Amino acid sequence: MRVVFTRVFLKSAKDLPDKIQNKLDTQTALLEQNIFHPLLHTKQLSADLSGFYSFRITRDYRVIFQLLSPDTVQLIRVANRKDIYR
């Protein structure tokens, strides 16, 4: 799986604490192998975010992404779970 990043994602990832950035790297590697890897807790989103997915970095941080093609995903945003779905 090929992973591409939006500018918004890169900017928000840069602002994360170092520990969360390291975990994000690990989770992104899992995403490249299988977007539904059990450790990612991937969820299909609904309502206003229909067509998008999220995966868990830690208990408090999530990434929103979308499938661009069968072999490419685009990471859109990373944030705390209380803020990311707004």
Tens place of pLDDT per residue across the chain (86 aa) = 999 999 999 999 999 999 999 999 999 999 999 999 999 999 999 999 999 999 999 999 999 999 999 999 999 999 999 999 88
pLDDT of amino acid 86 = 82
The pLDDT of residue 42: 97
CA-closest candidate to residue 23, choices 35, 36, 31: 31
**pTM (2 decimals)?**
0.93
Integer Cα distance of 19 and 57 in angstroms: 11
Identify the pLDDT of residue 85: 85
pLDDT at 51: 93
Domains present along the chain, CATH in parentheses: 2-84 (3.30.2310.20)
